[in-house]
């Protein structure tokens, strides 16, 4: 990414005039002094510290106290633009659910030769225990986080589909809450679509996915690995906002063929468990025997239809980065339509021709581990040193099937507040999608993650990225 690359600035056009969605905001911005914004920024930080919104980065000494940097220049999306994104996201999420059902049942897509069989059979995200199991209501991915990047006025790409346990929604909600407190005048002036009903929608959506045998209002609980998990704040926050119980593995046991949680009145059955722990830890009897985080026997209850697990075990096969490269085929196969949202062109290093191309052009590409997440285990070619390139080359040659590669996209920028004023930084967007048997709800906006370092393309909080409030304007 040489200095010649022109990035799409979401706020201003090439002539520095405000783009349409930002027109009112920019007019307001011109009336505000920069030191006033700095003061508000410090206020926001105090607010986040008081609320206790921190996240842990494993292996760091001061891990407990890390605040995700929050930037108070909002990212603004036009209502019409948003409508197009919603159509594309809905189409994609429907296809993912159909794909998961198919892969664990008739496997029509494999028979049709649209996806190579070995990609499923040899994939650690594929759970044989789910073969023949249909989750209550037929929903596999109750909560999806679709990561989008933008490269131009109407150019959006899906970077990845988070179909296991997408995190970050608490930051989306708290960012908005903070902005409403700090700039009430802006919200009375600019009509921004609200997002505060997300916990209510989440509760309702999960409730609709309760097993057939549940009676009355379904009991929903959030299963957390506990206090030391990096997203514990979010688990507690969501349970509290939904009016659900927050439980750990040792609070649950199998009683009379149901999963029940310990309460002051004895053990009470749980209908829906929103679990924030990975597949392999969920049931020590069926998976990792040494797991202390899960519930012995919960998979047997699940397979017999006694509880809903959100998201369903085995959904990881749908957001695997090797499968990602087949998403346009997957969308077409199950919906009969061309994908509305584009994929980033992807080279599968398991294929000899692709591997050859990747090795020859490593300095220009982004290379990712097939199962990697959080910005770990990846190489950003243009930013890598000769030594890093050589080390990664060796990894690729040793285990090509472990990697995919993509061109370095010219990600759009939105200004952030720096000491010396506003400066452009790269962003991505994670909208949150709730799926129930009869509905798909997409929160207007989502979490905008921003690379706080100048020139950086890595937006993950674990790699020093920050967040912004995302405004979708009323149409």
In a domain, 207, yes or no: yes
CA-CA distance, 274 to 240, in Å (whole number)?
Answer: 13
CA-CA distance, 396 to 387, in Å (whole number)?
Answer: 14
CA-CA distance, 295 to 312, in Å (whole number)?
Answer: 15
pLDDT per position as a tens digit, 49-66: 887 665 554 444 444 456
Beta strands in 256-380 (DSSP E): 258-263, 266-269, 272-275, 308-310, 342-343, 347-348, 365-369, 379-380
Does residue 351 share a domain with residue 331?
Answer: no
pLDDT per position as a tens digit, 313-369: 999 999 888 899 999 999 999 999 999 999 999 998 989 999 999 999 999 999 988
Does residue 382 share a domain with residue 371?
Answer: yes
Query: φ, ψ for residue 280 (rounded to 5)?
Result: -65, -15
Does residue 64 share a domain with residue 207?
Answer: yes
Helix (H/G/I), strand (E/B), else coil: 343: strand
Which residue, of 373, 390, 407, is where some domain finishes? 407
Residue 145 structural domain: 20-211+307-338+410-472
In a domain, 378, yes or no: yes
- The strand pair at 155-162 and 342-343 is best described as parallel
Residue 3 pLDDT class (50, 70, 90 cuts): very low
Name 298's Cβ contacts closer than 8 Å, sequence gap at least 6: 252, 254, 259, 273, 282, 283, 307, 309
In a domain, 97, yes or no: yes
In a domain, 281, yes or no: no
Q: Identify the pLDDT of residue 57.
A: 47
Does residue 378 share a domain with residue 451?
Answer: no
For residue 135, the number of C-alpha atoms closer than 13 Å in the C-beta half-sphere is: 31
Does residue 179 share a domain with residue 124?
Answer: yes
- According to the per-residue pLDDT averaged within each range, which of 18-27, 283-292, 368-377 is highest? 18-27
Does residue 124 share a domain with residue 83?
Answer: yes
User: Residue holding tokens 């097993």?
Assistant: 211
In a domain, 103, yes or no: yes
Q: Identify the pLDDT of residue 375.
A: 60
379: CATH: 3.30.1490.270
Q: Identify the pLDDT of residue 2.
A: 41
CA-CA distance, 272 to 283, in Å (whole number)?
Answer: 16
In a domain, 275, yes or no: no
User: Residue holding tokens 């950003």?
Assistant: 380
Where residue 382 falls (left for φ over 0; alpha for ψ -120 to 50; beta otherwise) is alpha
SS3 content of the chain, % helix, strand, coil (to 5): 35, 25, 40
pLDDT per position as a tens digit, 229-254: 888 989 999 999 999 999 999 999 99
Where residue 421 falls (left for φ over 0; alpha for ψ -120 to 50; beta otherwise) is left
Answer yes or no: are the C-beta atoms of 186 and 28 closer than 8 Å: yes
In a domain, 45, yes or no: yes
Task: Point out the least confidently predicted range of 33-37, 65-69, 93-97.
Answer: 65-69
Question: Quick one: how far is CA 374 from the chain centroid?
Answer: 10
Does residue 190 share a domain with residue 41?
Answer: yes
Please classify residue 290 by burial: count the beta carbons closer than 10 Å to its beta carbon, then call 0-12 exposed, 13-18 middle and 19+ buried: exposed
Does residue 466 share a domain with residue 350?
Answer: no
DSSP annotation of 235: H
Which residue, of 365, 381, 407, is where some domain finishes? 407
Segment 173-198 mean pLDDT: 96
DSSP string, 380-435: EGGG--HHHHHHHHHHHHH-GGGEEEEE-----EEEEEETTEEEEEEEEEE-EEEE
Which residue, of 373, 389, 407, is where some domain finishes? 407
CA-CA distance, 106 to 325, in Å (whole number)?
Answer: 22
Does residue 109 share a domain with residue 125?
Answer: yes
Name 104's Cβ contacts closer than 8 Å, sequence gap at least 6: 130, 131, 132, 133, 314
Q: Which residue has the higher pLDDT, 366 or 373?
A: 366
- The strand pair at 308-310 and 272-275 is best described as parallel
Of 221, 199, 197, the residue nearest 210 (C-alpha): 221
CA-CA distance, 315 to 145, in Å (whole number)?
Answer: 13
Domains: count for the chain = 2
Does residue 403 share a domain with residue 415?
Answer: no
Please classify residue 386 by burial: count the beta carbons closer than 10 Å to its beta carbon, then call 0-12 exposed, 13-18 middle and 19+ buried: exposed
Helix (H/G/I), strand (E/B), else coil: 55: coil
In a domain, 295, yes or no: no
pLDDT per position as a tens digit, 144-172: 999 999 999 889 999 999 999 899 999 99
Helix ranges, 104-260 (H): 108-111, 117-121, 169-182, 184-189, 198-208, 232-242
Does residue 127 share a domain with residue 86?
Answer: yes
Does residue 361 share a domain with residue 444?
Answer: no
Cα first-last separation, the chain? 36
């Amino acid at each position: 990414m040489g200095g010649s690359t022109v990035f799409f600035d979401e706020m201003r056009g090439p002539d520095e005039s405000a783009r349409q969605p930002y027109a009112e905001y920019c007019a307001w911005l011109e009336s505000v002094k920069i030191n006033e914004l700095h003061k508000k920024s410090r206020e926001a930080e105090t607010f986040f510290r008081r609320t206790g919104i921190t996240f842990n980065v494993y292996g760091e000494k001061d891990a407990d106290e890390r605040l995700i940097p929050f930037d108070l220049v909002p990212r603004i999306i036009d209502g019409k633009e948003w409508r197009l994104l919603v159509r594309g996201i809905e189409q994609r999420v429907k296809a993912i659910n159909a794909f998961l059902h198919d892969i664990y049942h008739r496997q029509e897509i494999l028979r049709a030769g649209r996806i190579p069989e070995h990609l499923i059979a040899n994939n650690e995200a594929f759970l044989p225990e789910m073969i023949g199991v249909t989750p209550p209501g037929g929903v596999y991915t109750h909560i999806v986080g679709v990561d989008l990047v933008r490269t131009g006025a109407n150019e959006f790409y899906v970077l990845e589909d988070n179909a296991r346990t997408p995190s970050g929604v608490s930051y989306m909600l708290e960012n908005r809450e903070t902005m409403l407190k700090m700039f009430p005048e802006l919200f009375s002036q600019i009509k921004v679509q609200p997002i505060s009903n997300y916990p209510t929608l989440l509760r309702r959506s999960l409730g609709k996915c309760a097993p057939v045998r549940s009676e009355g209002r379904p009991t929903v609980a959030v299963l957390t690995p506990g206090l030391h998990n990096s997203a514990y704040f979010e688990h507690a926050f969501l349970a509290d906002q939904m009016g659900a119980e927050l439980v750990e593995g040792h609070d649950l046991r199998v009683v009379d063929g149901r999963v029940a949680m310990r309460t002051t009145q004895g053990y009470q059955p749980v209908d829906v468990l929103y679990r924030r722990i990975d597949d392999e830890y969920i049931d020590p009897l069926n998976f990792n025997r040494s797991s202390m985080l899960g519930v012995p026997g919960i998979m047997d209850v699940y397979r017999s239809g006694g509880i809903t697990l959100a998201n369903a075990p085995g959904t990881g096969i749908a957001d695997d980065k090797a499968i990602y490269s087949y998403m346009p085929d997957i969308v077409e196969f199950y919906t009969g339509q061309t994908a509305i949202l584009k994929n980033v062109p992807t080279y599968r290093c398991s294929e000899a021709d692709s591997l050859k191309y990747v090795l020859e052009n490593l300095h220009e590409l982004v290379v990712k581990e097939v199962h990697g997440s959080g910005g770990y285990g990846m190489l950003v070619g243009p930013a890598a040193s000769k030594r890093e390139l050589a080390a990664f080359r060796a990894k690729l040659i040793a285990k090509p099937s472990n990697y995919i590669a993509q061109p370095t996209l010219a990600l759009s920028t939105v200004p952030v507040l720096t000491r010396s004023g506003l400066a452009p930084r790269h962003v991505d967007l994670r909208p949150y999608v709730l799926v129930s048997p009869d509905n798909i709800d997409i929160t207007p906006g989502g979490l905008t993650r921003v690379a706080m370092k100048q020139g950086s393309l890595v937006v993950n909080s674990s790699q020093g990225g920050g967040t912004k409030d995302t405004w979708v304007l009323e149409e």
